[in-house]
Amino acid sequence: MTDFRTPRPLATGDVLSDFRCGVDVLDSWLRGYARNNERSGGSKTMVSVTTEGRVAGYYCLSASSLVREDAPQRLAHRAPDPIPVVLIGRLAIDQEFTGLGLGTALLQHAVLQAISAAEIIGMRAILVHALTDDVIPFYERFGFERFPGSSRALYLLVSDARATLVG
Protein backbone atom coordinates (compact mmCIF):
# COMPACT_ATOMS: atom_id res chain seq x y z
CA MET A 1 0.00 0.00 0.00
CA THR A 2 1.18 3.49 -0.83
CA ASP A 3 1.58 5.99 1.99
CA PHE A 4 0.75 9.62 1.37
CA ARG A 5 2.05 12.61 3.21
CA THR A 6 -0.30 15.17 4.69
CA PRO A 7 -1.30 17.67 2.00
CA ARG A 8 1.04 20.64 1.88
CA PRO A 9 1.43 23.74 -0.28
CA LEU A 10 2.80 23.24 -3.77
CA ALA A 11 6.58 23.68 -3.64
CA THR A 12 9.05 24.90 -6.23
CA GLY A 13 10.76 21.52 -6.45
CA ASP A 14 7.59 19.47 -6.98
CA VAL A 15 7.70 17.56 -10.26
CA LEU A 16 4.36 18.02 -11.99
CA SER A 17 5.14 16.66 -15.44
CA ASP A 18 4.34 13.04 -14.50
CA PHE A 19 0.89 13.80 -13.04
CA ARG A 20 -1.93 12.14 -15.00
CA CYS A 21 -5.46 12.03 -13.63
CA GLY A 22 -7.09 11.20 -16.97
CA VAL A 23 -8.78 14.58 -17.40
CA ASP A 24 -6.65 16.77 -19.65
CA VAL A 25 -7.91 20.08 -18.26
CA LEU A 26 -6.94 19.05 -14.69
CA ASP A 27 -3.55 17.71 -15.77
CA SER A 28 -2.71 20.78 -17.85
CA TRP A 29 -3.92 23.19 -15.15
CA LEU A 30 -1.56 21.68 -12.58
CA ARG A 31 1.39 21.79 -14.96
CA GLY A 32 0.66 25.12 -16.62
CA TYR A 33 -1.23 27.34 -14.18
CA ALA A 34 -0.88 26.22 -10.57
CA ARG A 35 2.46 27.92 -9.98
CA ASN A 36 1.41 31.12 -11.76
CA ASN A 37 -1.74 31.26 -9.64
CA GLU A 38 0.40 30.80 -6.52
CA ARG A 39 2.62 33.73 -7.50
CA SER A 40 -0.27 36.01 -8.43
CA GLY A 41 -2.37 35.11 -5.39
CA GLY A 42 -5.20 33.73 -7.54
CA SER A 43 -5.37 30.40 -5.76
CA LYS A 44 -3.44 28.16 -3.41
CA THR A 45 -2.64 24.61 -4.46
CA MET A 46 -2.15 21.84 -1.94
CA VAL A 47 -0.49 18.58 -3.00
CA SER A 48 -0.32 15.14 -1.48
CA VAL A 49 2.88 13.33 -2.33
CA THR A 50 4.04 9.77 -1.88
CA THR A 51 6.89 8.98 0.48
CA GLU A 52 9.04 8.94 -2.68
CA GLY A 53 8.02 12.53 -3.47
CA ARG A 54 5.65 11.91 -6.37
CA VAL A 55 2.59 14.18 -6.59
CA ALA A 56 -0.35 11.80 -6.14
CA GLY A 57 -3.16 14.34 -5.89
CA TYR A 58 -3.94 18.00 -5.50
CA TYR A 59 -6.62 20.57 -4.88
CA CYS A 60 -6.73 24.34 -5.05
CA LEU A 61 -8.66 26.90 -3.05
CA SER A 62 -9.52 30.51 -3.73
CA ALA A 63 -11.71 33.18 -2.24
CA SER A 64 -14.82 33.98 -4.21
CA SER A 65 -18.26 35.47 -3.84
CA LEU A 66 -21.74 34.77 -5.05
CA VAL A 67 -24.53 37.23 -5.80
CA ARG A 68 -27.24 36.52 -3.26
CA GLU A 69 -30.04 36.38 -5.84
CA ASP A 70 -28.16 33.57 -7.65
CA ALA A 71 -27.79 31.48 -4.49
CA PRO A 72 -30.08 28.72 -3.24
CA GLN A 73 -32.43 29.87 -0.48
CA ARG A 74 -30.58 27.96 2.23
CA LEU A 75 -27.31 29.67 1.30
CA ALA A 76 -28.85 33.11 0.72
CA HIS A 77 -30.90 33.26 3.92
CA ARG A 78 -29.55 36.04 6.17
CA ALA A 79 -26.39 36.27 4.06
CA PRO A 80 -24.69 39.48 2.95
CA ASP A 81 -24.66 40.44 -0.72
CA PRO A 82 -22.38 39.30 -2.21
CA ILE A 83 -22.02 36.09 -0.23
CA PRO A 84 -18.40 35.32 0.71
CA VAL A 85 -17.38 31.76 -0.18
CA VAL A 86 -14.31 29.64 -0.75
CA LEU A 87 -14.04 27.82 -4.06
CA ILE A 88 -12.49 24.40 -4.47
CA GLY A 89 -11.34 25.13 -7.99
CA ARG A 90 -9.68 21.81 -8.77
CA LEU A 91 -9.36 18.40 -7.12
CA ALA A 92 -7.62 15.55 -8.91
CA ILE A 93 -5.90 12.24 -8.18
CA ASP A 94 -3.22 10.67 -10.36
CA GLN A 95 -4.63 7.56 -12.08
CA GLU A 96 -2.07 5.35 -10.36
CA PHE A 97 -3.48 6.30 -6.96
CA THR A 98 -7.24 6.18 -7.50
CA GLY A 99 -9.33 3.97 -5.25
CA LEU A 100 -7.04 4.42 -2.24
CA GLY A 101 -9.09 7.05 -0.42
CA LEU A 102 -6.87 9.94 -1.43
CA GLY A 103 -9.75 11.90 -3.01
CA THR A 104 -11.68 11.68 0.24
CA ALA A 105 -8.63 12.72 2.26
CA LEU A 106 -7.96 15.71 0.01
CA LEU A 107 -11.58 16.86 0.08
CA GLN A 108 -11.66 16.59 3.87
CA HIS A 109 -8.41 18.54 4.08
CA ALA A 110 -9.79 21.23 1.75
CA VAL A 111 -12.95 21.56 3.85
CA LEU A 112 -10.89 21.79 7.05
CA GLN A 113 -8.74 24.50 5.46
CA ALA A 114 -11.91 26.40 4.52
CA ILE A 115 -13.22 26.07 8.08
CA SER A 116 -9.92 27.45 9.39
CA ALA A 117 -10.12 30.38 6.98
CA ALA A 118 -13.68 31.05 8.13
CA GLU A 119 -12.35 31.56 11.65
CA ILE A 120 -10.32 34.51 10.37
CA ILE A 121 -12.46 36.00 7.58
CA GLY A 122 -16.16 35.93 6.83
CA MET A 123 -17.16 32.94 4.76
CA ARG A 124 -20.59 31.41 4.37
CA ALA A 125 -20.01 28.33 2.21
CA ILE A 126 -17.66 26.15 0.22
CA LEU A 127 -18.40 25.91 -3.50
CA VAL A 128 -17.37 23.35 -6.07
CA HIS A 129 -18.17 23.05 -9.76
CA ALA A 130 -18.06 19.37 -10.68
CA LEU A 131 -16.41 18.89 -14.07
CA THR A 132 -18.52 15.85 -14.93
CA ASP A 133 -21.79 14.37 -13.74
CA ASP A 134 -20.11 11.22 -12.44
CA VAL A 135 -18.26 13.08 -9.65
CA ILE A 136 -21.37 14.80 -8.25
CA PRO A 137 -22.25 11.85 -5.95
CA PHE A 138 -18.74 12.02 -4.49
CA TYR A 139 -19.36 15.56 -3.26
CA GLU A 140 -22.92 14.80 -2.18
CA ARG A 141 -21.63 12.04 0.13
CA PHE A 142 -19.88 14.78 2.09
CA GLY A 143 -22.96 16.96 2.43
CA PHE A 144 -22.56 19.19 -0.60
CA GLU A 145 -25.90 20.22 -2.09
CA ARG A 146 -26.66 21.04 -5.71
CA PHE A 147 -27.70 24.50 -6.77
CA PRO A 148 -31.27 24.33 -8.10
CA GLY A 149 -31.26 24.57 -11.87
CA SER A 150 -27.52 23.97 -12.09
CA SER A 151 -26.40 20.50 -12.91
CA ARG A 152 -22.85 20.72 -11.55
CA ALA A 153 -22.56 23.57 -9.02
CA LEU A 154 -22.61 22.40 -5.40
CA TYR A 155 -22.21 24.07 -2.02
CA LEU A 156 -21.62 23.16 1.61
CA LEU A 157 -22.43 25.68 4.34
CA VAL A 158 -19.42 26.29 6.56
CA SER A 159 -21.69 25.78 9.59
CA ASP A 160 -22.64 22.31 8.31
CA ALA A 161 -19.01 21.46 7.56
CA ARG A 162 -17.97 22.61 11.01
CA ALA A 163 -20.68 20.52 12.69
CA THR A 164 -19.80 17.43 10.65
CA LEU A 165 -16.00 17.52 10.63
CA VAL A 166 -15.07 19.46 13.73
CA GLY A 167 -17.93 18.51 16.00
Whether 139 is catalytic is yes
Strand order in the sheet with 8-9: 8-9, 44-49, 55-66, 83-93, 125-129, 153-157, 145-146
What's phi and psi for 14, nearest 5 deg?
Answer: -65, 130
Name the active-site residue from 33, 58, 59, 139.
Answer: 139
E strand or H helix that includes residue 159 = helix 158-161
Positions marked active-site: 139
